[in-house]
Amino acid sequence: MKSLIKPQAKPALILKQRGVVLFFALIALLAMSLAAVALIRSVDTNTMIASNLAFKQSATSSGDAGVEFAVNWIQAIAAQNKALNILPSDPANPFNIDQPALGYYSSAASSVSLTDDTGIQWTDTDSVAVPSDDTNNKTRVVIQRMCNTPGVPPGPDNCLRGITITGGGQQDILLATETERPDSTIDSYQFRITARSEAPRSSTSYVQAFAF
């Protein structure tokens, strides 16, 4: 009769099989570890990008507040001139005088660069700081009268002018070389406002607007 009991594996075969499963397990563990690291880095990168975009948007919003600050300053000087009966042609008119510490320039001179080291440095000597808002961003403002020549009363051949077209209620801008149209009346001269806002993580935003 044949025996129903299977013979046991030989010791030599058992020795050859030891460590094979561990080897494949280590390879699988390494692959899973690399996948986990890649996933973490991807999540961190997406979070960083979202944070940077949020800081950039915050800086832009602060720049808008800087524009409003500058508009209020222009309106305050205009109201003061009206109360004191100071005409635009008066050399003592504050709009005819460069005031760098207040961020005001009576011309749009090309030498007053806004974005490189040869012009505005965005310090207390050449721009004005806007009161801090809830975001604690640092915002500074420069106001330039859109005239060719600094420090002189504005003239029709020297400055950009805002006009109202008679009958339509529309507004337009005349170039310094253009003459007044017969269907329009001059309202005011143009000002260019540039607000520079700094947010965390070196986020810097420039916002420009025209006022008249």
Whether pLDDT at 59 is above 80: no
What's residue 184's pLDDT? 47
Joined tokens for residue 7: 């013979």
Domain segments of the chain as ranges: 20-211
User: Is residue 208 a contact partner of residue 191, using CB atoms and an 8 Å limit?
Assistant: no
Query: What is the bridge-based pairing of β-strands 191-199 and 203-211?
Result: antiparallel
Whether pLDDT at 200 is above 70: yes
What's residue 56's pLDDT? 65
Strands (E), 7-108: 104-105
Among 190, 100, 192, 197, residue whose Cα is nearest residue 139: 197
| Mean pLDDT, rounded, for 179-203 | 71
For the chain, give the percent of residues with pLDDT over 90. 17
What's residue 160's pLDDT? 78
Mean pLDDT of the chain: 75
Is 35 or 127 the better-scoring residue by pLDDT? 127
Q: Among the listed ranges 15-24, 72-81, 125-134, which one has the minimum average pLDDT value?
A: 15-24
Give this prediction's pTM: 0.67
Cα–Cα distance for residue pair 122/139, rounded to 1 Å? 9
